[in-house]
Structure 1
Amino acid sequence: MAAVSSLSFSAIGQTSADRKVNVSSARYLASNFEGFGFRTSLLYHSLGVRVSTAASSSVVHCMSTATDVPTVSETKSNFLKAYKRPIPSVYNTVLQELIVQQHLMRYKRTYLYDAVFALGFVTVYDQLMEGYPSDEDRDAIFQAYIKALKENPQQYRIDAQKLEEWARAQTSSSLVEFPSRDGEVEGILKDIAERAGGKGSFSYSRFFAVGLFRLLELANATEPTVLEKLCAALNINKRSVDRDLDVYRNLLSKLVQAKELLKEYVDREKKKREERSESQKANEAVKNCLGEYQYVGR
């Protein structure tokens, strides 16, 4: 993907390609999302808890025990129990695909939560759910989704905000110079670099790639070489990041098209309901007039 770091998320979200998308076929979105999914094997493994010494003392990484690993259907069921209201199909189909793929990633043997991953997920979620009819429901769905995966939704939001605030204060140079500086976020990034370099467990994901890109965007680091330097500093394969960001961009493009068509459909239905209502009111008015005329005529 050429010069991916020069693209903004707003530009991605506003991509307007061929509008030949059938809004009734949300499966098309799901199939695109599956490409963005996390194809991993569900491995049962033993307990392990590691507290990072490279990052701040608040960074704790946990591995699940074999007895802790639920099935995909249990995770989906937990989500549906936590959020019982109906979700429009254009959102629900993608959310269901996402939760299946993230379940497999979440219970992978090498999975360890980190703040960059959280930033990536929050960014993806907010982009996917942009324009949802209710802000309150959007937050409730987020809460139910993360809790269904047995993680802390508040931690996701707090860590994402922490990295966003840090990135806004950075430049193209300072962003990639984190190894030489001290600080909470610098410590988080150093810990990731250490684990990704082979000194601990690290599981790369496409959410992580989106998290990196979000850091670049907030720091206004638009030069293509900055992403390369940041990946090198974190011991991450840039080719994988480029590929995953390209898939993400295409996914958002398809989703935007589908949501536009859904909005047009909803607007048409609303207009039809209003026309039916006006017609009904007119008929009632005519009936009332006729009734009064008949009464007076007597």
Structure 2
Amino acid sequence: MAAVASLSFSALSQCSDRKSVVSSARNLGSNAEGIRFRTSISSHYGGIRASSSSSRMVVHCMAGSSDAPTVADTKLNFLKAYKRPIPSVYNSVLQELIVQQHLMKYKRTYRYDPVFALGFVTVYDQLMDGYPSDEDREAIFQAYIKALNEDPEQYRTDAQKLEEWARAQTSSSLVEFPSREGEVEVALKDIAERAAGKESFSYSRFFAIGLFRLLEVAKATEPTVLEKLCAALNIDKRSVDRDLDVYRNLLSKLVQAKELLREYVAREKKKREERVETQKASETVTKCLGDYVCQ
């Protein structure tokens, strides 16, 4: 693992016609102004309180609290929660994502919603696919979400609920949620209502990826379905199209980077095995010489 930790994204990006995975990953998060990754945040964004809504899939973020953490606080919380070294091919993106998600989280208009959660879980699982340890991968997820003062179980649970709901939908029923009742339908209608008002909805690329995942699970491949779903949710489809292009490009880069990582790990493993064999041979020779001298 120590050997893997020395591998950087710059090394992975040196193959022909491959841009840095980090620069692609930096485009994962945005606010309404196409926000870029930054390392600080104003201190006037607010804390969290539970929603009084009947739907348990909604959490409010309130402005005006003087207790809002800084980016440094959030990153430090993550490092305290997960103390083991993370290979830099993963850690570079994770550190940038946690900065971006901090900036989203403490915006005045932010409110947790299940589509956002599904988008983040999708990105995280894609990013961490192939991580050396399944147990560590989940521990990192827990530490990441808790560092943002949110509930990792809620993220996982809501993402699973949305996927299960989408599996039961067709291209038509997927966009007919306003006329139906149910936990997911209520959550989607809440999003649509807030997005129409603009004051309590903060669009992000995680949200766009959540929509993409819904269509993917529902096998709704017709181009018009996304347009209808965006209309029903009062979301600008042009923003969604743009952000999904970024996401698809990132997935391609991740596949390339992970292939290089696997090759690197395989080479390092072979070198370690060769060193062990050399050491064993040396020890055998030394023992034989010792036995000969003592006879």
Percent identical among aligned pairs is 74
What is the CA deviation profile of residues 247-268 of structure 1, one whole-angstrom value per residue up to 9, with x for unaligned ones? Answer: 1111122122122111111111
Alignment of 1:146-225 (within 5 A): 146-198=145-197, 200-225=199-224
Aligned partner of 1:85 in structure 2 is 84
Aligned partner of 1:56 in structure 2 is 55
Output the amino acid matched with 1:28: S
Partners in 2 of 1:224 and 1:42 — Cα distance? Answer: 40
Aligned partner of 1:280 in structure 2 is 279
What is the CA deviation profile of residues 66-105 of structure 1, one whole-angstrom value per residue up to 9, with x for unaligned ones? Answer: 3131111111111111111000000000000001111111
Counterpart contact for 1:42–1:108, Cα < 8 Å:
no
- The reply on whether 1:97 has 2:96 as its aligned counterpart is yes
Output the amino acid matched with 1:44: H
Q: Aligned with 1:61: secondary structure?
A: strand
Aligned partner of 2:8 in structure 1 is none
CA deviation after TM superposition for structure 1 residue 213, in Å: 0.6
Alignment of 1:22-37 (within 5 A): 22=14, 28-37=20-29
Partners in 2 of 1:50 and 1:272 — Cα distance? Answer: 53
In structure 2, relative to structure 1, the CA distance for the partners of 1:48 and 1:120 (3 Å cut) is closer
Partners in 2 of 1:122 and 1:236 — Cα distance? Answer: 21
Partners in 2 of 1:117 and 1:183 — Cα distance? Answer: 19
Output the amino acid matched with 2:125: D
Partners in 1 of 2:128 and 2:12 — Cα distance? Answer: 21
Counterpart contact for 1:43–1:107, Cα < 8 Å:
no
Output the amino acid matched with 1:37: G
Counterpart contact for 2:47–2:106, Cα < 8 Å:
no
Aligned partner of 1:21 in structure 2 is 13
Counterpart contact for 2:102–2:148, Cα < 8 Å:
yes
Aligned partner of 1:7 in structure 2 is none
Counterpart contact for 1:119–1:160, Cα < 8 Å:
yes
CA deviation after TM superposition for structure 1 residue 62, in Å: 3.1
Q: Aligned with 2:60: secondary structure?
A: strand
Q: Aligned with 2:132: secondary structure?
A: coil
In structure 2, relative to structure 1, the CA distance for the partners of 1:48 and 1:274 (3 Å cut) is closer
The count of aligned residue pairs is 274
What is the CA deviation profile of residues 18-75 of structure 1, one whole-angstrom value per residue up to 9, with x for unaligned ones? Answer: x97239xxx932222222232177472567968576x736634232433131111111
Partners in 1 of 2:285 and 2:291 — Cα distance? Answer: 10
RMSD over aligned CA atoms reads: 2.4
Alignment of 1:93-172 (within 5 A): 93-172=92-171
Partners in 1 of 2:50 and 2:275 — Cα distance? Answer: 63
Counterpart contact for 2:215–2:226, Cα < 8 Å:
yes
Output the amino acid matched with 1:253: S
Counterpart contact for 2:43–2:66, Cα < 8 Å:
no
Indicate the larger mover: 40-49 or 124-133. Answer: 40-49
Q: Aligned with 2:112: secondary structure?
A: coil
Partners in 2 of 1:268 and 1:205 — Cα distance? Answer: 39
Partners in 1 of 2:20 and 2:143 — Cα distance? Answer: 25
Counterpart contact for 2:61–2:106, Cα < 8 Å:
no
Indicate the larger mover: 228-237 or 35-44. Answer: 35-44
Aligned partner of 1:15 in structure 2 is none
Partners in 2 of 1:83 and 1:273 — Cα distance? Answer: 27
Partners in 1 of 2:198 and 2:76 — Cα distance? Answer: 36
Task: Identify unmatched segments of 5+ residues in structure 1.
Answer: 1-18
Length-normalised TM-score, structure 2? 0.86
Partners in 1 of 2:269 and 2:47 — Cα distance? Answer: 54
In structure 2, relative to structure 1, the CA distance for the partners of 1:46 and 1:60 (3 Å cut) is closer
Partners in 2 of 1:233 and 1:52 — Cα distance? Answer: 24
In structure 2, relative to structure 1, the CA distance for the partners of 1:42 and 1:114 (3 Å cut) is farther
Counterpart contact for 2:163–2:214, Cα < 8 Å:
yes
